[in-house]
Structure 1
Amino acid sequence: MHISAELNKRLTEVGPGTPMGEVFRRYWIPACLAEEVGPPDGAPIRIRLLGEDLVAFRDSAGDVGLVDAYCAHRRAPLFFGRNEECGLRCVYHGWKFDTLGNCVDMPSEPPYSKFRLRVSIKAYPTHEAAGIIWTYMGPTELMPPPPDYEWMRAGADYFRIDKTGEPCNFLQAIEGGIDTAHSSFAHNNDLENPRLLRTLDPHPRLEVDVKDYGYTYASLRNVSKDSVYLRVYQFMMPFQQFRGGLLDMEGNKPKVPAINGHMWVPIDDTSVWVYNWMYVADSSVKVTDQWWDEHEHAMGRGPQDFVPGTYWLKASPENDFFIDREVQRTKTFTGIEGVNTQDYALQTGMGRIVDRSKEALGSTDHAIQAARRLMIEAMEDAEAQRPLRGTDPATYNKVRATDMIVPRGSDWRDVSKEAVQAYW
């Protein structure tokens, strides 16, 4: 499908009143990690989400508020506010707001004044689950049930999550994630090993099945005369991918029985939070902190990879993601360390918002084209006030992703049927 400059603009802008912005506002989306807001009465934090400036705070009762970043009085910044006695108090004139945005105290006005009853600030509902503060930013009457992905039910012993900032538009980040063919090249981190599953067949066959939540898509690589490397992914509208763990060539079981994925949540038009999660497929293996740290280091997002005190990587467009040309010549395809860092280098190198009108898409781009069609459909549905795919948990809460070695000639839907059913 051809993406014109006008359509690209509709697909990539996420501020209030924009078509895609209204799509995101019809879903529960991550506002921040729960760890960021800290304990009750702790310091408020700045949040920028879908182009809106907000602050989040946990009140005395433990409830999380997500409110306008500025006081209703003279627009002073509430980031400097005092979080006390179930409210956030502006330090300019003492006006205090609760988690619902109501003004509950106005000490700069006479005691008999009822002015505060007519004053409020923007506030969005929150839902805390699976290490995330979720929020819904759309019309109250269209609010869907809270999210219920399988990974949210796995529990602390079997699940981990973190996030990373990326300086580009959300859509090119999503499209980088759901593009399976690039892993044969960009993520070939061992040029001397000709038996890597993804490099044995660098032109996988892709098939897409549209679902009520988004779509299931399969990547099939011929890795021997008798076998196929099958990856069954899930794309959950509007911003999430599930994928299975890597397989060992000696058998059909993952080295670590893990399912992982990302949520790409727009900060604004030109930057995105990437939430990275992983959970084990059943209760036979627990996720240790050591394993998670090693996994994150391999991805390029271990603790040592971040600018201290932030969720932004030290590797960036400004330093060319620390590319090492000698490593590129002799050891890895990109010369960039860390799987996700490789992705970020390519996605941000396209520019903050890529010009899709200049693309030449091929046979391995079916999943990308399917995602674009669903995004266009979602914009149309939101404008017509119709239900959107993936807002009903019953459509997605029983599915997962998988990786398998399967016999050549087998139907991927049949052989993966049990493997893509939720355990948790």
Structure 2
Amino acid sequence: MLSAADNELLVRTNQNTPLGEYFRHFWQPVALSEEIPLPDCAPIRVTVMGEELLLFRNSAGKVGLIDRYCGHRGADLFFGRNEECGIRCIYHGWKYDTDGKCIEMPNVPPGAAYHDTIQIKAYPTQEFADMVWAYMGPAESMPALVPQLEVGLVPSENRYVTKRLIECNWAHSMEGALDTAHFSFLHMPAPSQMNDDNPNVAADVKRLRWLRNDPTPRFTFVDHEVGFVIGGARHADEDEHYWRLTQYLLPNHSITPSSMPNEIYYGYSWTPITDEACWMYVYAWHPERAITAEERTRFDQGGYGQFAALGPGYLPLRNRSNNYLLSREEQRTESFTGIRGIAEQDQMAQESQGYILDRTKEHLTPTDVGIVRFRKLILDEVKALSAGNTPKAAHLGQAYRTRGGGALTADQLQLEEVMIERFGTKTGVVN
């Protein structure tokens, strides 16, 4: 468990909080590029770590992220006109460029001192992996690169990127991704469904059996310069181990342990909206081939484990407000939870912990070692920044090009040997 003070450090990301300042030293995804698809299209409101902002694409295609409110009398710029390389306030016509500079003041006399002096908050942006990223930290510490996740380095046809609303603190969901022990329960079909004749599980029936039969995986770690790999080994058939290899990348990214050789890779990035909600960016990519139309349709419909079926506003159709459409009959006959969708099952478990979890009440077990390691690493990083040490990982963008996934190996192999056999390097970094 954590002390109350450390729990506060872990969950608070607004301005002038230690973790909030740490997050702001890294580029953060703040929207999907598809949300502002064309020059001069409608702007969108975004709230990032408690800051109310406006995102827009100007006439030249450049993306701006600025304060949501006009510097004149505070009108909401969401209602403004996106025109001629700027956002024009609907109240008195003040116009702002992507740098937040007020470039026109129609109601101010020519030559007045106000001209060329008004500046509202604005943050640098980059587009990468079909996401808009923003840097919200001190200018002198801005990294040159956003994290070079492999999903952004493959051709666009080789990836699929979306997001969904998570209605709890970012750390609940982050920890859920690092806790692979839960798969032995949360995502299990009912025993009657575990057979090769069931088309819903036939492709994965062996993996599901290994997960069900060994609910206490043995975890080991490999540290690297932007985080760590956690490997969970379960007994498989005969003299083999089934490994699930998860990447944690500072401060808020993870590559999943689900992909076996030649399968699609998956990853997540979390951006706090407030301390009680966050966006979870979910992406799939294949290094060697395009994502097929059939796969994209399945992802759109939430028909694969990493993706949820979404409604308007990227809100999952099965969500907190409707108890995730829990069916007690399906819980009795078809699945452990009675909730459809692996993504939705994860979200239910994480959101059920409350909007902000009180970690002083926990009773951790040996299968929680990944959670403990994550908390220690990020809290140490935050405390180091508070002591004046700029995060090194923020400036190591190329080191984020990593892979995670599953492996079936001889049972005598250690984690570093498994990583080399599966990915070619002991850390999973792609050369």
Consecutive unaligned residues of structure 1, counting only runs of 5 or more, are: 248-252
Judging changes above 3 Å, is the alpha-carbon distance between structure 1 residues 323 and 137 closer, same or farther for their aligned structure 2 residues? same
Q: After TM superposition, list the pairs within 5 Å mapping 1:32-47 onto structure 2.
A: 32-47=31-46
**One-letter amino acid matched to 2:318:** A
> Which shows bigger deviation, 267-276 or 394-403?
394-403
For the pair 1:298 / 2:311, whether they are aligned, the reply is: no
C-alpha contact 2:221 2:415 (8 A) present in aligned 1: no
State the distance in 2 between where 1:350 and 1:331 align: 24
Q: Matched residues in 2 for 1:94 and 1:10: separation?
A: 42
2:222, 2:415 within 8 Å by CA — same for their partners in 1? no
Please give the alpha-carbon distance, in whole angstroms, between the structure 2 residues aligned to 1:275 and 1:117: 38
CA contact (8 A) 2:282 2:307 kept: no
C-alpha distance in 1, partners of 2:363/2:73? 51
Deviation at 1:104?
Answer: 0.4
Cα-to-partner distance string for 1:34-70 (whole Å, 9 max, x where unaligned): 0101211111100000000000000011100000000
Distance 1:214 1:141, change over 3 A: same
Partner Cα separation in structure 2 for residue 82 and residue 26 of structure 1? 32
**Structure 1: distance between partners of 2:93 and 2:430:** 51
2-side partners of 1:145 and 1:298: how far apart? Answer: 37
Tell me how far 1:410 sits from its aligned partner.
1.5
Counterparts of 1:7-22 in structure 2, within 5 Å, are 7-22=6-21
Q: For the Cα contact (< 8 Å) 1:218–1:232, is it kept in 2?
A: yes
Residue 114 of structure 1: CA displacement?
A: 3.7
**TM alignment of 1:154-193, pairs within 5 A:** 154-192=154-192, 193=194
Work out the percentage of aligned pairs sharing the same amino acid. Answer: 35
CA distance in 2 between partners of 1:69 and 1:136 (Å) = 17
Distance verdict in 2 for CA 1:403–1:167, change over 3 Å: same
The one-letter amino acid of 2:215's match is P
Contact 2:220 2:415 in 1 (8 A): no
Paired position in structure 1 for 2:201 = none
CA drift at 1:394: 5.4
Mark the CA change 1:388 to 1:302 in structure 2 (over 3 Å): closer, same or farther: closer
1: CA distance, partners of 2:178 / 2:239: 27
Paired residues for 1:233-244 under 5 Å: 233-244=246-257
Instruction: Quote the Cα distance in structure 2 between the aligned partners of 1:409 and 1:301.
Output: 31
| Bigger mean CA deviation after superposition, 410-419 or 40-49 | 410-419
**Cα RMSD for the two superposed structures:** 1.8
Residue in 2 that maps onto 1:226:
239
| Residue aligning to 1:337 | 340
Q: Is the 1:45–1:57 Cα contact (8 Å) retained in structure 2?
A: yes
| 1:321-351 deviation digits (Å, cap 9, x = unpaired) | 1111111111101100011100111111111
Q: Which amino acid aligns with 1:156?
A: S
Contact 1:29 1:135 in 2 (8 A): yes
Q: Compute the TM-score of the two structures, normalised by the length of structure 2.
A: 0.91
Code of the residue aligned with 1:273 in structure 2: it is W
Describe how 1:182-331 pairs up with structure 2 within 5 A: 182-192=182-192, 193=194, 195=206, 196=208, 197-247=210-260, 253=261, 257-280=263-286, 282-283=287-288, 285-295=289-299, 297-299=302-304, 305-308=309-312, 310-331=313-334
Q: Look up the SS of the partner of 1:219 in the other structure.
A: strand
Match of 2:200 in 1: none
Cα drift, residue 389 of structure 1: 4.8
Post-superposition CA distance 1:191-228 (Å, at most 9, x none): 33174232131111111222210111101011123110
Change (3 A) 1:13 1:216: same
Question: Matches of 1:230 and 1:139 in 2, distance apart?
Answer: 41
Give CA deviations for 1:145-186 in whole Å, capped at 9, x if unaligned. Answer: 222122210111211110000110000110111100001110
CA distance in 2, matches of 1:302, 1:203: 26
Q: Is the 8 A contact 2:259 2:404 kept in 1?
A: no
Q: Which residue of 2 aligns with 1:63?
A: 62
Once structures 1 and 2 are overlaid, which stretch shifts more, 188-197 or 45-54?
Answer: 188-197
Q: CA–CA distance in 1 between the matches of 2:349 and 2:400? A: 32
Per-residue CA deviations over 1:287-323 (Å, capped at 9, x if unaligned) read 11321332452347878x3233x11112222211111
Specify the code of the residue in structure 2 equivalent to 1:237. L
**Amino acid aligned to 1:118:** T
Are residues 221 and 335 of structure 1, via their aligned partners in 2, closer, same or farther at CA, if it must alter by over 3 Å? same
Distance 2:401 2:6 in 1: 34
Matched with 2:110 is 111
Identify if the C-alpha distance between structure 1 residues 298 and 126 changes in structure 2 by more than 3 Å, giving closer, same or farther: same
SS of equivalent residue, structure 1 residue 56: strand
1:83 matched to 2:82? The reply is yes
Q: What is residue 349 of structure 1 aligned with on the other side?
A: 352
Q: Read off the aligned partner of 2:339 and give its amino acid letter.
A: I
> Contact 2:126/2:134 (CA < 8 Å) preserved in 1?
yes
- State how far apart, in whole Å, the 2-side matches of 1:233 and 1:105 are: 51
Q: Distance in 1 between matches of 2:116 and 2:187?
A: 58
Shift of 1:232: 1.6
Listed as ranges, the gaps of 5+ residues in structure 2 are 196-205
TM-score by length of 1: 0.93
Paired amino acid for 1:173: S
Are residues 317 and 415 of structure 1, via their aligned partners in 2, closer, same or farther at CA, if it must alter by over 3 Å? closer
Counting only pairs closer than 5 Å after superposition, residues 127-138 of structure 1 correspond to structure 2 as: 127-138=126-137
SS at 2:393 equivalent: coil
Aligned length: 412
Cα distance, 1:401 vs structure 2: 1.3
Asked if the contact 2:253–2:268 (Cα under 8 Å) also holds between the matched residues in 1, the reply is yes
Q: 1:34 to 1:363 in 2, by over 3 A?
A: same
Structure 1 residues 81-126: Cα deviation after superposition (integer angstroms, max 9, x where no partner) = 1111111110101000100011100001012224122211000000
Check conservation: 1:301, 1:313, Cα contact below 8 A.
no
